[in-house]
């Protein structure tokens, strides 16, 4: 037996001690990566850890009702929905796909085409349990999540592009709250009046260059869009079962389709020309790409007269110190139509999930009124359940005409979702990069800008 030196013995002892400490130390392993662990239903949402924490009560209530299903909320940060979807795709590629993903209109068709499981069998199986939800939710919101005749998501919240108004600026200009069916000319006249009395830094109309609330609402009210909108066949199985008695049943379809660009439609140029005029006359801002961060603070400071936004803005304005009577909301102005744009979000079950039944239980639970009240205690968005959009939600925060948020769907049932085909991210990039060139400079810029937009959209839609 060979001799062991003191140095070697001490070294071995040291290595052993370090190894023992290392082995017993609580540490992350591959199983801790969300999606790899097999114990929980992983639900991915767009947001940060605080957003995940805000759903603690929702998860607790779900666990109480479904003690055998563990839920893990995974907050994924992103600058916008596009960033969020890119990260979900990366997770799918890495084999760590979540089971359920909260998907907004922007990604609804991308998920429906490639990633999500249709809910058709689930809703038909549990019709009795889920009928209460459909009875409370406007069919326009459901139709936005139908794709080629199948239902892929149950929308939980939505926001229409309504018009927010600074009541102080209106009063100062001698303007009353506009009527429900005010026109784009009335809108223009209101801006002109506010500009005269608003002061040096005041902006009568602030808008941002993005898919929601940018140029699109002006296209919709002018009865056009930058993509040709058609509807899929199919979906009767759903409408006949769940919305058979709805007065708008006849106009429902198997989902929206955006297959071709439409930027060279003269009405598109007409809408752009209207916006260009607002910018040229100093009535509206030049919309910066990626802008809008400063919007809430500036609106609350009284520096902005009007801006398009949805119910999601109420809590932000309240927290920014805006009194409930300092702002109000009205439908978007009428042009050829008064069709509104809206965006919504709901949970989708991933095709790759091995827990589809549990995922459906989560979705079904989240669609109950109890769960939606836990998920949306504040007016940070508009709940899709009509019964939840009530005086209590807006008490002490405003606006006085909060009913506008849901009435938009009832008054204008042809209102449609953000144009978001499966290639939405590329389509959105094509749109926003061509908007500024069209609305700044001379009227002669519009035609070439629309031609470039048409070309860019063709390229974007060609990609699958």
Positions that interact with other proteins (CB under 8 A): 79, 82-83, 86, 89-90, 92-93, 114-115, 201, 203, 206, 209, 285-291, 293-294, 298, 303, 423, 425-426, 429, 432-434, 436-437, 440, 456, 459-460, 463-464
Gap between the Cα atoms of 55 and 69, Å rounded: 16
Gap between the Cα atoms of 63 and 252, Å rounded: 36
The least distance separating other proteins from the CB of residue 433, rounded to whole angstroms, comes to 5
The least distance separating other proteins from the CB of residue 80, rounded to whole angstroms, comes to 10
- The b/e string for 47-74 (b: 16+ C-beta within 10 A; e otherwise) is beeeebebbeebbebbeeebeebebbbb
The least distance separating other proteins from the CB of residue 289, rounded to whole angstroms, comes to 4
Cβ–Cβ under 8 Å, residues 435 and 287? yes
The least distance separating other proteins from the CB of residue 282, rounded to whole angstroms, comes to 10
Q: Compare residues 414 and 429 and give the one whose CB is closer to other proteins.
A: 429
Q: Compare residues 400 and 436 and give the one whose CB is closer to other proteins.
A: 436
Inter-residue long-range contacts of 46-53, CB under 8 Å, 24+ positions, other chains counted = 46/75, 46/76, 46/77, 46/78, 46/81, 46/84, 46/102, 46/104, 47/75, 47/76, 47/77, 48/75, 48/77, 49/75, 50/75, 51/75
The least distance separating other proteins from the CB of residue 126, rounded to whole angstroms, comes to 29
Pairing of strands 416-417, 146-147: unpaired
Q: Compare residues 204 and 379 and give the one whose CB is closer to other proteins.
A: 204
Q: Compare residues 85 and 362 and give the one whose CB is closer to other proteins.
A: 85
Q: Compare residues 142 and 420 and give the one whose CB is closer to other proteins.
A: 420
The least distance separating other proteins from the CB of residue 228, rounded to whole angstroms, comes to 21
What crossing angle do the helices spanning 81-93 and 424-439 adopt, rounded to 10°?
Answer: 150
The least distance separating other proteins from the CB of residue 441, rounded to whole angstroms, comes to 10
The least distance separating other proteins from the CB of residue 333, rounded to whole angstroms, comes to 22
**Residue 210 CB neighbours (<10 A):** 20
Beta-bridge mates of residue 160? 342
Q: Compare residues 251 and 303 and give the one whose CB is closer to other proteins.
A: 303
**Residue 87 burial class via C-beta count within 10 angstroms: exposed 0-12, middle 13-18, buried 19 and up:** middle
The least distance separating other proteins from the CB of residue 205, rounded to whole angstroms, comes to 11
Q: Compare residues 304 and 329 and give the one whose CB is closer to other proteins.
A: 304
Q: Compare residues 388 and 459 and give the one whose CB is closer to other proteins.
A: 459
The least distance separating other proteins from the CB of residue 83, rounded to whole angstroms, comes to 8
Q: Compare residues 51 and 83 and give the one whose CB is closer to other proteins.
A: 83
Q: Compare residues 337 and 440 and give the one whose CB is closer to other proteins.
A: 440
What crossing angle do the helices spanning 424-439 and 266-280 adopt, rounded to 10°?
Answer: 50
């Amino acid at each position: 037996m060979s001799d062991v030196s003191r140095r070697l013995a001490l070294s071995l002892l040291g290595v052993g001690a370090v190894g023992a400490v290392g082995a017993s130390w609580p540490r992350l392993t591959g199983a801790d990566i969300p999606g790899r662990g097999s114990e929980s239903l992983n639900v991915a949402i767009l947001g940060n850890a605080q957003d995940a924490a805000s759903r603690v009560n929702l998860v607790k209530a779900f666990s109480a009702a479904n003690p055998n299903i563990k839920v893990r909320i995974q907050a994924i940060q992103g600058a916008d929905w596009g960033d969020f979807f890119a990260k979900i795709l990366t997770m799918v590629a890495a084999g760590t796909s979540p089971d359920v993903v909260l998907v907004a209109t922007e990604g609804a068709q991308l998920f429906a085409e490639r990633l999500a499981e249709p809910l058709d069998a689930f809703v038909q199986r549990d019709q009795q349990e889920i009928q209460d939800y459909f009875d409370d939710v406007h069919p326009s919101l459901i139709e936005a999540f139908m794709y080629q005749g199948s239902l892929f998501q149950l929308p939980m919240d939505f926001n229409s592009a309504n018009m927010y108004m600074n009541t102080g600026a209106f009063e100062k200009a001698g303007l009353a709250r506009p009527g429900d069916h005010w026109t784009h000319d009335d809108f223009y006249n209101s801006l002109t009046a506010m500009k005269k009395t608003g002061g040096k830094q005041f902006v009568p109309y602030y808008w941002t260059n993005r898919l929601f609330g940018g140029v699109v609402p002006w296209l919709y009210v002018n009865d056009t869009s930058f993509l040709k909108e058609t509807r899929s066949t199919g979906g009767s199985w759903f409408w006949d079962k769940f919305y058979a008695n709805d007065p708008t049943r006849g106009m429902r379809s198997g989902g929206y389709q955006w297959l071709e660009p439409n930027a060279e439609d003269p009405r598109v140029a007409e809408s752009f020309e209207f916006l260009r005029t607002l910018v040229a006359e100093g009535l509206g801002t030049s919309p910066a790409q990626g802008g809008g961060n400063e919007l809430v603070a500036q609106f609350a400071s009284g520096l902005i007269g009007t801006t398009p936004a949805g119910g999601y803005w109420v809590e932000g304005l309240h927290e920014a110190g805006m009194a409930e009577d300092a702002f109000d909301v009205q439908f978007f102005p009428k042009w050829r139509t008064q069709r509104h744009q809206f965006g919504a979000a709901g949970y989708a079950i991933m095709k790759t999930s091995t827990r589809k039944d549990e995922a459906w239980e989560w979705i079904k639970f989240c669609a109950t009124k109890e769960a939606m009240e836990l998920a949306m205690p504040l007016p940070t968005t508009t709940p899709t359940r009509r019964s939840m959009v009530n005086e209590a939600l807006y008490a002490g925060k405003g606006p006085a005409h909060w009913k506008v948020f849901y009435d938009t769907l009832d008054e204008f049932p042809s209102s449609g979702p953000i144009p978001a085909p499966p290639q939405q991210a590329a389509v959105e990039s094509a749109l926003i990069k061509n908007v500024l060139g069209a609305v700044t400079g001379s009227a002669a810029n519009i035609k070439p800008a629309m031609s470039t937009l048409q070309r860019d959209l063709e390229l974007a839609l060609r990609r699958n």
